[in-house]
Amino acid sequence: MDWRWQFRSRIRTADELTKPLGLRRGERRALGEVTRACRAAATPYYFSLIRAGDPLDPIRLQCIPDSREIASPVGLDDPLEEQAHSPVPGLIHRFRDRCLVLATNRCAVYCRHCNRRRLWREPERMLGSRGLEAVAGYIERRPALREVILSGGDPLTLSDGRLERILARLHAIGHVEVMRIGSRMPVVLPMRITEGLCGLLRRYRPLWLLTQFNHPREITAEAAGACERLLEAGIPVLNQSVLLKGVNDDYRTMRELLYGLERIGVKPYYLFQCEEVRGTAHFRVDVHDGMRLMEKLWKTTSGICLPRYVADRPGTKGKVPLQPVSLL
């Protein structure tokens, strides 16, 4: 299946989103209000994973806008203070030895729990030649920067040619030792992980891909195949889940997710506490409930499957481990 067709055919309007779900008139009207305020999109592939008629379906919760996104003023636009640490447009430098490059602000699927929802207010865009040179120049002048994380948006929405121009320019900087790519494409558009893309990525190793599976039903045959192609190309795949109320905040679901990732060769890396981003309060799980969940998983689950439960703090404070006292 052609990934470009999937991307061009993203389901984006309120009518497109609601008709297959059989929503009532009032629900459609509410959804229309949210989509006018907050960007929405889902690939036909990911949309097909939704169980029609179930308003609490965990796939639906992640990609279909909810009226609670605009009903509650709770939260911040930029809880990690990324904009305050952006010395060059398209670059975030919060830590001494690594930085993050925003290759684009567009995604195949706009996850409703995203911590960069503020970027949705801007037109979809990509890092151009001038922007790339400004980013690369900043990195070149700071030899302490040994690691570059390509993020967004989703960098794998770029064409192979455009992606390679970015990777090649960053790879050419002598003190850049490692690159990472953050992408949900193995989850929401696995056909993007082509043999051609894998060959491209292989040329820029050491390179790691960090993805985000949040529910075991996302681990389909297509997703498993995408991860296998990356691994065969020598690209390690790590998973960074977000703890989401109604999606994966119960023991059985999380354990099934972790074991499913192990079966396809993907290492559970982090389990993030959902950020305090405006419009996402309905997803947030109480930290104490999250710690109780991790305690149960710690006692019953294979160690190789266990992620680190963390909260990302603003500015340069970094990630704070969230661990029950009983496990210390």
Task: Kindly tell me the number of DSSP H helices and DSSP E strands found in the chain.
Answer: 13, 9
For residues 67 and 195, state if they share a domain: no
pTM for the predicted model, two decimal places: 0.96
In a domain, 311, yes or no: yes
Termini Cα distance of the chain: 48
Distance (Å) of CA 104 to CA 28, 40, 99, 266, 269: 30, 16, 15, 25, 24
pLDDT tens column, 33-83: 888 888 999 999 999 999 988 999 999 999 999 999 998 888 999 999 999
For residues 147 and 48, state if they share a domain: no
pLDDT band for position 187 (50/70/90)?
A: very high
Lowest mean pLDDT among 17-21, 63-67, 230-234, 245-249: 17-21
Please list the alpha-helical segments (H only) found in 88-232: 129-140, 160-171, 185-188, 195-202, 221-232
**End residue of a domain, out of 43, 71, 99:** 71
What integer best gives the mean pLDDT of the chain? 94
For residues 49 and 164, state if they share a domain: no
56 backbone dihedrals φ, ψ, rounded to 5°: -105, 15
The whole-number average pLDDT for the span 271-285 is: 96
pLDDT value of position 26: 74
For residues 57 and 121, state if they share a domain: no
For residues 264 and 211, state if they share a domain: yes
For residues 255 and 280, state if they share a domain: yes
Q: Which two tokens stand for residue 225?
A: 């195949």
- Total domain count, the chain: 2
Domain of 45 in residue numbering reads as 3-71
Lowest mean pLDDT among 105-114, 268-277, 312-321: 312-321
In a domain, 77, yes or no: no
pLDDT value of position 327: 59
Please give the Cα distance from 192 to 1 (Å, whole number): 9
For residues 36 and 129, state if they share a domain: no
For residues 55 and 152, state if they share a domain: no
User: Is the pLDDT assigned to residue 159 strictly greater than 90?
Assistant: yes
pLDDT band for position 1 (50/70/90)?
A: confident
pLDDT tens column, 160-184: 999 999 999 999 999 999 999 999 9
Element (H, E) at 5: helix 3-8
